[in-house]
Structure formats: structure tokens, C-alpha cells
Amino acid sequence: MNRAFSRKKDKTWMHTPEALSKHYIPYNAKFLGSTEVEQPKGTEVVRDAVRKLKFARHIKKSEGQKIPKVELQISIYGVKILEPKTKEVQHNCQLHRISFCADDKTDKRIFTFICKDAESHKHLCYVFDSEKCAEEITLTIGQAFNLAYRKFLESGGKDVETRKQIAGLQKRIQDLEAENVELKNKVQGLENQLRIAQVCTSPAGSVSPQSPSTDIFDMVPFSPTSPPPPVPTPNGTQPPPVPGRAAQTKRDLFGAEPFDPFSCAAGDFPPDIQSKLDEMQRQRWRGSKWD
């Protein structure tokens, strides 16, 4: 743990150890931004970073942009930078990655600290503006370092490893939450595309089938072009279908089909009937001859 931070030795600590070890100390400040620095510590290093960020902020202010306000939560585990209203964590600077902390001697409102980024491994200088609490915030971060170092000595280094594991898990949770939000947005977009595709592919002139209208007696009106609807039997079953008139065959009183000599050929009769018919035809021919 690098304890290279600037603090006044004649100043006593302002907070109880329990407040920083079991809870956190909140502060409100204006966030000028962060910029990469070449060295992990040094007064000249942070002074150059402050000048750079002040100049960039002056340009943005001339364009009508305001300096964003943030909430700082300081504990022995690090410094969290949050959005004051939503409490969304913008930056989580773990204490063992902070290598330098100081307030500006020329501008009492400015304080800074340098932290090594966990992903890029670059040293970033964070610059803040607090009208009344710049020196107090610097001392609070120094006290958090002091308490964390004591716990490190008491635990033999195990406490630092545990905090590293917890910090890694917290970072993993944040990544998973961001990935979950991204997946939800993708699913929502796919659902919207599917709805649009269904609307475009449905036929414009399609009309859903409607049940036939009924009269005042709740009966379907008769139509000669359509067969009457089936009427269920008392036991609840449907009656057999009624064949159409064109399919019905005319039969006589005894149920036999009528004789049609024009549609019958000679081979349609049995041999005995055929011989009798021939005999009757010869007799008729002979009678007509004698006459």
C-alpha cells in the first residue's frame, strides 16, 4: 500500500475509526473531470493536471455547460464518485489503487487524487472543486489510508486480499448489470421489429369470418343458395348430413328404381329373360305378318 499522500501533520483526524471502517463519510463537490498522468505521484504532476482540466472546463463553461455535481463516499475501501440524485456509481476508486492525494495550495477549493485504473492500468488524476471542504476531504482520505494500513498490519495482509476479491466481485456485478441492461434493450428492439413485420405481412383486405345475422326470433334467415344449418338432436349429437337433391335417385312405391329401356342393353338381362323377350318379339312379328 502506497501511502504517498500529502497531509498536514499538525492536523488531527476528524472522524471516528468506526465511521470510516463500518460506514462511509459523504461529501458533495463539483467534478472537473479526470485526465491521464505519466507519474503516480508528485505535486507538479497534479498541478499540470489541474491546469489542463481547468482550461477544458473554462471552454465548456463558455459554451453554456455547467460543472457537474457529484457525491463522494470515502471509506477504508476507497472513494466512490456517485451522481447525487440517482446514486449511480460513476467511478469506484479502490483505496489500494490511490497513490497520491493533495489539496491545491494556490486554490483552496481544489483537491485531487491519482488512482490507477483497474482495466487500462493507466494513472488518472481526478480533480474536484469544493468551496469549503477541499482540505477536509483531503484529510479524510488520509485518515482512511491510515486506518486501512493499520488493518493491513493487524491482519498480516489478508484483509487487503479480501478487499481485492470483494472489489473484483463488485466490478463483475457492475459489468453483469450493464450487460443485462444491454440485452434487455436488444430483446425490446427485436420484439418491436417482429411486430412491425407481422403488421406488414398481414393481407390488407383480409376480413375475419363473421357468423350469419339472425332475425328477431334468433333464427338464421333461409337462403336457397346455402344449405340450412344442422339442428342438434335432443341427445346433443349432430344428425347425419342430408344429401342434395341432385344426388337423390327417384324410386317407385316399392323402393325399386324405374325401368328405362333406352338405357338398358341386351347384355343387361339374364339368358332366360332374354330368350323370352326374343320369343315375344317373333310372335309379334308373325301376327303382324298374317294381318
Mean pLDDT, residues 246-271 taken together:
58
pLDDT digits (tens, 9 = 90+) for 203-216: 655 555 555 566 66
* Separation of alpha carbons 25 and 15, rounded Å: 8
* Separation of alpha carbons 70 and 167, rounded Å: 21
* Separation of alpha carbons 209 and 84, rounded Å: 59
Q: Which pLDDT band holds residue 9 (cuts at 50, 70, 90)?
A: very low
pLDDT digits (tens, 9 = 90+) for 140-194: 999 999 998 888 888 765 666 666 667 777 777 877 888 888 888 889 888 888 8
3-state secondary structure of 282: helix
**Which amino acid appears at position 123 of this protein?**
H
> Which comes out higher in pLDDT, residue 218 or 104?
104
Question: According to the model, what pLDDT value does residue 189 have?
Answer: 87
Question: According to the model, what pLDDT value does residue 157 have?
Answer: 59
In this predicted structure, the answer to whether residue 18 has a pLDDT above a threshold of 80 is yes
Residues 6 or more apart whose Cβ sits within 8 Å of residue 8: 139
Of 97-106, 222-231, 270-279, highest mean pLDDT: 97-106
- Alpha helices in the chain, H assignment, sequence order: 17-21, 43-62, 134-155, 158-201, 271-290
Lowest mean pLDDT, pick from 80-84, 129-133, 280-284: 280-284
Question: According to the model, what pLDDT value does residue 11 have?
Answer: 53
Mean pLDDT, residues 111-123 taken together:
92
Residue 44 exposure: Cα atoms within 13 Å on the Cβ side: 2
To 5 degrees, how large is the angle CA 107–CA 51–CA 8?
40
Torsion over CA: 173, 174, 177, 178 (sign): negative
> Which comes out higher in pLDDT, residue 105 or 155?
105
In this predicted structure, the answer to whether residue 231 has a pLDDT above a threshold of 70 is no
CATH number, domain 17-155, options 2.30.29.30, 3.90.209.20, 3.40.140.10, 1.10.10.10: 2.30.29.30
Mean pLDDT, residues 269-282 taken together:
70
Pairing type for strands 110-116 and 98-103 reads antiparallel
